[in-house]
Amino acid sequence: MIGLIGKKLGQTRVYDEDGNAVCVTVVHAGPNHVVQAKAADGKDGYNAVQLGYDEQAKPERLTKPMQGHYAKHGGQAVKVVAEFRDYGIEAAEGDKLDVNIFEAGDYVDAIAKTKGRGFQGVVKRWNFGGGPKTHGQKGFFRRPGGIGACATPGWVLKGKKLPGHMGQASRTVQNLKIVQVREEDNVLLIKGAIPGAKGDYVVIREAKKRPKAKK
């Protein structure tokens, strides 16, 4: 598996060879610093590469454990770190990886956090239909309704859809096609939408489930 950490810059469209408009998400994904390389025959017990992105100009703003981690491995202080198991490219601590590890036509998975919506009710959060709008109803238009039985079981069952915090959750979008790789700008143009707002961090990894070839 190969992958990079990037930042979502926004969305736009490009045109293919046939003149068709293709909606793409623009992701700045480089350079990535190899913070740590783990080996199966070492104390970690498995093969992995820890990548860092977005250099931290003021390392003193990082937590003390992270400062010690970067100092121990002699790497560049960064703002975000992600680990990739069984990395498909040989990389040593201190190396830099760019978008050229991907090619146009590759399929990838994008992992990012959705936009935060704050505290929301059941109509917006869970797409409830709300209560009756007429026949003498008052103030029940956007309420959830009954949330459980009486004496049996005597409590609200786990997993009940209720009002609460919406968004800011990690989501994975699978099998997105890379339309263009712009090495001079360290930018990937990925077909489709990726969760999150502009400026949010996103992990781009090789697709785990390759799409079936069209007959």
Number of domains forming the structure of the chain:
2
Q: Are residues 106 and 27 in the same domain?
A: yes
* Type and span of the H or E element at 124: helix 122-126
Q: Are residues 45 and 126 in the same domain?
A: no
When the pLDDT of each residue in the chain is averaged and rounded to a whole number, the result is 93
Q: Identify the domain boundary among 134, 151, 166.
A: 166
Q: Are residues 201 and 152 in the same domain?
A: no
Q: Are residues 48 and 105 in the same domain?
A: yes
Q: Are residues 15 and 79 in the same domain?
A: yes
Nearest to 12, CA basis, from 183, 184, 192: 192
pTM confidence score:
0.88
pLDDT of the residue at 129: 93
Q: Are residues 34 and 104 in the same domain?
A: yes
Q: Are residues 161 and 181 in the same domain?
A: no
The reply to whether omega before 153 is within 30° of 0 (cis) is yes
* Residue 214 confidence class, pLDDT cut points 50, 70, 90: low
Q: Are residues 161 and 183 in the same domain?
A: no
- C-alpha separations of 107 from 118, 123, 165, 176, 188 in Å: 33, 35, 32, 5, 12
Whether residue 214 lies inside any domain: the answer is no
Whether residue 178 lies inside any domain: the answer is yes
Each residue's pLDDT tens digit, 90-132: 888 889 999 999 999 999 999 999 999 999 999 999 999 999 9
Each residue's pLDDT tens digit, 166-187: 999 999 999 999 999 999 999 9
Whether residue 215 lies inside any domain: the answer is no
Whether residue 28 lies inside any domain: the answer is yes
Tokens matching residue 146: 């009954």
Quote the domain boundaries for residue 73: 3-117+170-206
Whether residue 211 lies inside any domain: the answer is no
Q: Are residues 162 and 189 in the same domain?
A: no
Whether residue 190 lies inside any domain: the answer is yes
- According to DSSP, residue 88 is labeled S
Q: Are residues 149 and 179 in the same domain?
A: no
CA gap 99, 94 in Å, rounded: 17
**Region for residue 180 given its phi and psi (left: phi exceeds 0; alpha: psi -120 to 50; beta: otherwise):** beta
> In a 3-state reduction of DSSP, which class is residue 179?
strand
Whether residue 151 lies inside any domain: the answer is yes
Q: Are residues 103 and 27 in the same domain?
A: yes
Whether residue 212 lies inside any domain: the answer is no
CATH number reported for the structural domain that contains residue 17 in this entry: 2.40.30.10
Q: Are residues 21 and 126 in the same domain?
A: no
- According to DSSP, residue 110 is labeled E
Question: Looking at the predicted structure, is the pLDDT value of residue 75 above 80?
Answer: no
pLDDT of the residue at 100: 94
Amino acid at residue number 22: V
